[in-house]
Chains A and B, each alone.
Chain A
């Protein structure tokens, strides 16, 4: 019997009803902002990249990674959203007068997820493990010559040289403490063995897609973490991430400025904070491969050539503020006067170039770094306007790092986050960011004074001196301080972490 049209229609209708019924019975749990079977106190966050390894030597301080590993690992010190320091696994810390010994008093009664106790010996094992590794962070603990356990709860770091960023770094990946038993094993890459406020739910998690953390009620600071469960979902694509936030599948996610208007229209809350400066790095200050850059007037001319406000408005939708300095507002060393030091003035740029002996401009090659591809044409366009003829050199994604740090390029577009002291240490000849190992006696003098500043007033004053020198000598051509943007649903409140891409996990709380 052939099926009649009527019957066919009714079958189709039945199928449609079935699908709708299914969608009703599974429910749209996301819109509740909490969760279904995971209890009301679940925080679901979207992130753009996965965490590849939980091995402490593979962790690093930048980007979103913090959000993913900080729940499972305690650090020696705890960083606050305004980049201050609070007790972590160390309850007290102090340098001796000569800054050659750092003494840490350790928290008593802390145990790792494998049951091992946290002691002075644990600190020694972790620091030595990190030092011996080929990790990025090994350089940070390199000045620690020796770790000396004084007693169970006291440890001394004997320093070969004083590094002013050390304390801050002990609040990040370099200060991560894992169970000594697990250090150096393959297993710790997949399963963290820390003492953090949460533990990884290995069974429930799907690596590279969804990580689930459950609260560790034994944690010494358990009260600071209001959520019973944390769920991190990876959305590499910004559209997918935004859709997940809009549909309530996640309670919060980092987004781009281009997506901000859409997020706002969808009723999401936007939290933004200066994450880092963006502009053109002028690295060949001695003119090794681009002789013109050796003249400070040329570097200043380049600074004058960029219409910073216009770039900010057009590329970042105004999320940020135009500036000529690398220090972020509100951070030590920030000088409001320096924001306008090189206000857009192409005429002045041409004058300076003429003074420097380049009335007809000169040729400059800029690599088209894939992650900065949006900015390269802007550089070429704006510099051409003042007479500098830019050749854009194509760069394969896999060659990015070699092109940046291999010393083949006199200047390139860059984005640089971090604290004020991070801006200062990047000037050192030891830093990878000082690509041509530029030095200056006056600057070294100012930096060495700034390094020794421990009090806030003193830091602000000495950092400001360094800042002013760097801006006057145009070591960089910053355009603006770019905001990081994090969206949250109405169910969640969050405080931003200044100079960082994502907030700290302890900064999230259920909305009242």
Chain B
């Protein structure tokens, strides 16, 4: 298990390097006039050249990346070209916001899709058909559209939730819950397809011989399901959940915009458009690291649930 974790961590670190290098390459190869973006339309060519020199933008791309990497390895992600805000500080205020929305959404998705999937697999008949049909319908709804509808109904008309904004958990737990309810609901909708995975793997496991043996020994349906079937049906479900997490992390960019949530998606989007290199590289690297860690946790969870995984 330890070797497994080490291997995954190492490949994770390599991934961060590769992705940050690719990002840097894309920014510099894009030929964006970053100094011009900082100074605006009225600046003269000399002013632009002067600012570019100040920021070191006139040096070769590889050298700029190497400098960034060297500093980043010592924990210094630099400062934003535009606001001078330390990148770490920007991330520390933005990342928890996005994570609290996305992780809650993943959790809700996991619970809902597991419940629906098991229900469909065990009950079959009209319940199963209904869950399947609902899944197709719900899966076709784009999350930003749903977000707009939810705001219109629950925030503007019924006034149950705030239409926009985010309240930190520490400031007001109740306010936090209310502020993330609609964004989470919009994100969850995209992940409910996992119910179908749960359904099919539970059906598969229910057909196995050991389930019949367990039943013949007098175990209740409930025990068979929770202690044995779900545990065996879990691996594909966990894999889908880790994909859902990545998907929702990306989808958060749109949802953050609709709800004006000060998350990392908005930060990355704005930074990329302006050409705020330190901020873009910082956001990308840390985001990749988060994805790597979450996937690792899910892998470990998988190994704990299913000893077969640990052996490979």
Contacts and interface: CB of A to CB of B under 8 A. Distances in A.
Interface residues of B, number: 56
Interface stretch (B29-37, B64-72, B101-109, B299-307): B29-37
Given A52-B83, A53-B83, A244-B260, A136 B42 contact: yes
Nearest to B269: A236
Contacts of A397: 273
A186 B262 contact: no
B174 interface: yes
Contacts of B30: 396, 398
A210 B259 contact: no
Interface string A231-258: 0011111011101101101000000000
Nearest to A266: B156
Contacts of B135: none
15 contacts: A19-B181, A20-B160, A22-B178, A28-B159, A30-B162, A60-B40, A136-B43, A237-B257, A241-B260, A244-B165, A249-B164, A398-B31, A398-B37, A401-B33, A405-B41
Given A23-B178, A134-B50, A235 B164 contact: yes
Contact of A2 (B42, B44, B47, B222): B222
Most buried by B among A23, A25, A236, A402: A23
A136 B84 contact: no
Interface in B246-283: 257-260, 262, 266-267, 270, 273, 275
A286 interface: no
B228 interface: no
A249 B174 contact: no
B224 interface: no
B36 A402 contact: yes
B90 A26 contact: no
A183 to B, nearest CB: 14
Name the 9 nearest CB pairs between A and B, nearest first.
A209-B262, A189-B84, A247-B163, A398-B32, A134-B47, A243-B163, A52-B82, A240-B260, A136-B42
B16 interface: no
B172 interface: yes
Given A190-B84, A247-B155, A402-B33, A26 B178 contact: yes
Most buried by A among B37, B50, B93, B165: B165
A164 interface: no
A503 B106 CA distance: 43
A311 interface: no
Given A22-B177, A247-B163, A53 B36 contact: no
A234 B40 contact: no
Nearest to B33: A402
Interface in B91-112: 93-94
B287 to A, nearest CB: 17
B266 A208 contact: yes
A246 B164 contact: no
Contact of B40 (A50, A136, A206, A208): A136
A23 B90 contact: no
Contact of B42 (A186, A206, A432): A432
Most buried by B among A134, A243, A397: A134
A237 B161 contact: no
Contact of B47 (A50, A55, A138, A236): A138
Interface string A2-30: 10000000000000000110110110101
B160 A206 contact: no
B164 A207 contact: no
A4 B84 CA distance: 59
Given A397-B273, A402-B33, A233 B42 contact: no
Contacts of B80: 52
Contacts of B175: 26
A139 B40 CA distance: 12
B85 interface: yes
A133 to B, nearest CB: 9
Contacts of B231: none
A55 B84 CA distance: 10
Interface in B210-233: 220, 222
B197 interface: no
Interface of A: 2, 19-20, 22-23, 25-26, 28, 30-31, 50, 52-53, 55, 60, 134-136, 138-139, 186, 189-190, 206-210, 233-237, 239-241, 243-244, 246-247, 249, 396-399, 401-402, 404-405, 432
B13 interface: no
Interface in B103-141: none
Nearest to B40: A136
A208 to B, nearest CB: 6
B79 interface: yes
A401 B31 CA distance: 12
A188 to B, nearest CB: 9
A136 B24 CA distance: 27
A31 B163 CA distance: 12
Contact of A22 (B148, B164, B174): B174
Contacts of B39: 134-136
A24 to B, nearest CB: 9
Interface string B140-168: 00000000100100011001111111100
Contacts of B270: 50, 208, 236
Contacts of A138: 47
Interface in B2-52: 30-33, 36-37, 39-44, 47-48, 50-51
Given A240-B259, A247-B156, 16 more contacts: A50-B270, A53-B83, A186-B84, A207-B93, A208-B270, A235-B164, A236-B266, A236-B270, A237-B258, A243-B163, A247-B164, A397-B273, A398-B37, A399-B31, A401-B33, A401-B41
Contacts of A209: 166, 260, 262
A415 B6 CA distance: 57
A209 B178 CA distance: 18
Contacts of B257: 236-237, 240
A207 B275 CA distance: 18
A26 B94 CA distance: 24
B275 A398 contact: yes
A237 B156 CA distance: 17
